[in-house]
Amino acid sequence: MTAVSDDITTRLRRDCMSLIADEAADTIDRLRAERDEARLELKVMTEEHRLACEDRDLMQRERDEARRMVCGLDADIMEDQVEYARHRGWDCFGPNTCKEAQHDLEADTHPG
């Protein structure tokens, strides 16, 4: 595919022999360079996003573990740790801990 595309700019410069054809070929080359740079930036941002998601997941697990510890310490106030967590508005014992964390994040970023 690149060879055919490169051939287009070569043919424009060689066969058309006009300022417009040269400008068009230059524009094509510039746009290709911008596209390649954007692809590289996207690759980097995708990796950064993946790493940020891993960090988020780790922090959520650590937060939930800390909450479970609090529930264990304060469970004497209530009969059961899960009920205590529910009373605090925490979902640190169930499979839906990410939903609660997402809700916390949305509340922090969109108050009101």
The 10s digit of each residue's pLDDT in 15-73 is: 787 888 889 989 999 999 999 999 999 999 999 999 999 999 999 999 988 888 877 77
Q: For the chain, what is the total number of helices (H) and then of strands (E)?
A: 4, 0
Count CB atoms within 10 A of the CB of residue 100.
19
Confidence of residue 1 (pLDDT cuts 50, 70, 90): very low
Domain count, the chain: 1
DSSP, residue by residue, 52-106: HHHHHHHHHHHHHHHHHHHHHHHTTTSS-HHHHHHHHT---SSTTHHHHHHHHHH
